[in-house]
């Protein structure tokens, strides 16, 4: 039975209602709802947590951001910390310990049971951005030689491990993954039916070393709620759940957006001034160097600009439109590379499409700016110069937006991190070069 009250009323209920009533109602409340209240009112957070059962606190900490987990856990005594950590999922514990220094991590490991500490140490030994680094070790697996009745008895005896038991993974005597059995097939089969008779052997598994972003793409492709993680000989190590994947995809998207904007991936909206400056300043310095390069190109044509001052008015338009066109292509390309949508077998088709886009949009924008240039200066050659420069720069922009991320990917540099700097350089430098170069070539018709 869920309480029908707003956030403030629910906060007061958690603080002041009889504890028996709180215990009764939180069974129907998602831990995230209480986590929102704890974040909004830190003064009352400790009092609210003190009135909740340890297994529910563990669920709240599981849902918290990695940086918050340690903060919440440290509000309890060592004995209560031990009980909470026993109830937490192994992957969330691993995330927590992964951000701590060695002394802090060892203190928490010492408060765990020997079995839990062993599991977490094993998870910490994997690369954090791989399938093994994000998997959980709490899952149900059954032996292929069991029958339905034995399996049902086994499930009843291990109810606490069944939170993610949408499917049962079947292993052999060496713990190698043999297949999967759905709960539907299990409960609809006779007790004497062997697991081997109802097993589905075409189960998709994840290699333990697969990058977490690729894991996310597999979940998107197949629509699974859980997927098993196996080692190099097919032994079942753990499972990855869809809620972990959603968090990964969100973090990866945020990281890519930050990188495209020349902002460090770790910068937070409520971060410190020092962190933000350290995150942004290096990329601004890189952009300064590219701006100096573009200015140097302009400097080569100072004599032309002195003779036709109107060129200075239209220069930013050519460079700016090229930058926008390049960014459009770049955004599509970086997203396609990140999601694995760009098939190198069809790369020529995509290239010709981008050239077509650059040509058509360039001619369209070029015609408009040519007419405006003619009307501004009263000189048809001036209009043609700026129109042709616009067409050339738009084509270069789409080509650079297509080529730069592919080249960076090939040389193992993150396309989201560096592409925008190079594309902007191309469009600015070549935009000025095309416009001022053509103006110099036809200077006798412009003065």
Q: Which of 352, 428, 445 is nearest to 389 (CA)?
A: 428
Q: DSSP letters along 8-65, please?
A: HHHHHHHHHS-HHHHHHHGGGS-HHHHHHHHHH-HHHHHHHHHTS-HHHHHHHHHHS-
Q: How far apart are the first and last CA of the chain?
A: 84
Residue 313: name the closest of 135, 180, 439 by CA.
Answer: 439
Rounded Cα distance between 285 and 136, Å, is 42
What is the C-alpha to C-alpha distance for residues 425 and 297, in angstroms, rounded to an integer? 11
**Which pLDDT does position 265 carry in this prediction?**
53
Residue 359: pLDDT band with limits 50, 70, 90 = very high
- pLDDT, residue 229, reads 94
Write out pLDDT tens, residues 170-206: 999 889 999 999 888 888 899 999 999 999 988 889 9
Q: Do the Cβ atoms of 54 and 76 come closer than 8 Å?
A: no
Rounded Cα–Cα distance for residues 400 and 389 (Å): 16
The distance from CA 354 to its chain's CA centroid, rounded to whole angstroms, is 26
- Considering only residues 259 and 283, tell me which one the structure prediction assigns the higher pLDDT: 283
* Residue 101: CB atoms within 10 Å: 7
Residue 408, pLDDT score: 83
Measured between alpha carbons, how far is 72 from 34 in angstroms, rounded to an integer?
Answer: 13
CA–CA dist 363, 369 (Å, integer): 10
What does the block give as tokens for 29? 């409340």
The answer to whether the beta carbons of residues 46 and 75 sit under 8 Å apart is yes
Q: What is the mean pLDDT of the chain?
A: 84
Q: Using one digit for the tens of pLDDT, what is the confidence trace for 386-434?
A: 999 999 999 999 999 999 888 888 887 777 666 777 888 888 899 999 9
Q: What is the pLDDT of residue 1?
A: 43
Whole-angstrom Cα distance, residue 206 to residue 133? 12
CATH fold for the domain made of 141-240: CBS-domain (3.10.580)
Question: Has residue 95 got a pLDDT over 80?
Answer: yes
CA–CA separation, 291 and 424 (whole Å): 9
Identify the bridge partners of residue 171 per DSSP, sorted by sequence position.
143, 177
| Kind and range of the H or E run holding 81 | helix 78-87
Buried b (16+ CB within 10 A) or exposed e, 34-52: bbebbeeeeeebeebbeeb
In whole angstroms, give the CA distance from residue 62 to residue 59. Answer: 5
Give 274-304 pLDDT, tens digit per residue.
Answer: 766 776 677 678 778 878 888 888 888 988 9
Residues 6+ apart with CB under 8 A from 31: 56, 59, 60, 62, 63
Q: Which of 25, 87, 78, 31 is nearest to 54 (CA)?
A: 87
CATH second-level architecture of 7-129? Answer: Alpha Horseshoe (1.25)
**Planar angle of CA 116, 122, 124, nearest 5 degrees:** 100
Say if residue 262's pLDDT is above 70.
Answer: no
Q: Is 412 left (phi over 0), alpha (psi -120 to 50) or beta?
A: left
Give the containing element (helix H, strand E) for 116.
helix 114-124
pLDDT in tens, 199-242: 998 888 999 999 888 888 888 788 888 899 999 999 999 898 88
Is the model's pTM score more than 0.85?
A: no
Q: In what order do the strands lie in the sheet with 177-182?
A: 141-143, 167-171, 177-182
User: How does residue 41 score in pLDDT terms, banded at 50, 70 and 90?
Assistant: confident
141 in Cβ contact with 171 (< 8 Å)? yes
From CA 83, how far away is CA 111, in angstroms rounded? 9
Is residue 64 over pLDDT 70? yes
Residue 3's pLDDT is 56
Q: How far apart are CA 37 and CA 279, in angstroms?
A: 31
Kindly give the pairing relationship between strand 226-230 and strand 167-171.
unpaired
How does residue 164 score in pLDDT terms, banded at 50, 70 and 90?
low
Identical fold, 7-129 and 141-240: no
Report residue 56 as tokens: 């529910």
Give the integer Cα–Cα distance in Å for 92 and 72: 13
Encoded tokens for 134: 């994000």
CA distance 394 to 363: 9
CATH architecture group of domain 273-446: Orthogonal Bundle (1.10)
**Domain spans of the chain?**
7-129, 141-240, 273-446
Summarised one tens digit per residue, pLDDT across range 99-120 is 888 888 888 888 888 888 888 8
Cα–Cα distance, 439 to 433 (Å, whole number): 10
């Amino acid at each position: 039975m869920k309480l029908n009250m707003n956030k403030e009323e629910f906060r007061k209920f958690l603080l002041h209602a009889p504890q028996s009533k709180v215990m009764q109602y939180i069974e129907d409340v998602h831990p995230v709802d209480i986590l929102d209240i704890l974040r909004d009112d830190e003064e009352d957070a400790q009092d609210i947590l003190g009135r909740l059962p340890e297994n529910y606190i563990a669920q709240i900490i599981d849902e918290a951001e990695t940086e918050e987990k340690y903060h919440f856990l440290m509000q309890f005594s060592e004995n209560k910390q031990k009980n909470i950590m026993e109830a937490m999922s192994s992957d969330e514990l691993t995330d927590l310990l992964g951000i701590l220094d060695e002394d802090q991590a060892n203190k928490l490991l010492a408060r765990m049971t020997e079995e839990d500490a062993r599991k977490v140490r094993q998870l910490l030994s994997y690369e954090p951005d791989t399938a093994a680094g994000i998997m959980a070790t709490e899952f149900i697996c059954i032996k292929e030689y069991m029958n339905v009745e034995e399996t049902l008895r086994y499930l009843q005896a291990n109810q606490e491990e069944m939170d993610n038991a949408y499917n049962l993974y079947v292993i052999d005597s060496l713990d190698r993954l043999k297949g999967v059995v759905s709960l539907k097939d299990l409960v609809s089969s006779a007790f004497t039916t062997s697991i081997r008779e109802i097993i589905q052997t075409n189960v998709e598994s994840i290699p333990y070393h697969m990058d977490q972003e690729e894991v996310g793409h597999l979940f998107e492709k197949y629509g699974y709620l859980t997927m098993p993680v196996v080692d190099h000989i097919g032994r079942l190590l753990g499972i990855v759940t869809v809620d972990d994947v959603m968090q990964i995809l969100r973090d990866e998207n945020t990281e890519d957006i930050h990188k495209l904007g020349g902002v460090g991936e770790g910068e937070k909206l409520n971060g410190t001034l020092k962190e933000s400056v350290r995150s942004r300043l290096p990329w601004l310095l890189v952009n300064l160097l590219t701006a100096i390069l573009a200015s140097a190109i302009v400097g080569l044509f100072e004599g032309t600009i002195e003779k036709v001052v109107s060129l200075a008015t239209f220069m930013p338009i050519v460079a700016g439109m090229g930058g926008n066109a390049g960014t459009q292509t770049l955004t599509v390309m970086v997203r396609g590379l990140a999601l694995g949508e760009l098939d190198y077998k069809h790369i020529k088709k995509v290239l010709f499409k981008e050239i077509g886009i650059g040509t058509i949009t360039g001619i369209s924008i070029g015609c408009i700016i040519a007419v405006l240039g003619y009307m501004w200066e009263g000189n048809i050659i001036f209009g043609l110069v700026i129109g042709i420069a616009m067409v050339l720069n738009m084509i270069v922009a789409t080509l650079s937006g297509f080529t730069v991320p592919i080249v960076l990917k090939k040389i193992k540099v993150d396309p989201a991190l560096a592409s925008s700097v190079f594309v902007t350089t191309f469009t600015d430098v070549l935009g000025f070069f095309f416009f001022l170069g053509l103006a110099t070539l036809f200077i006798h018709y412009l003065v």
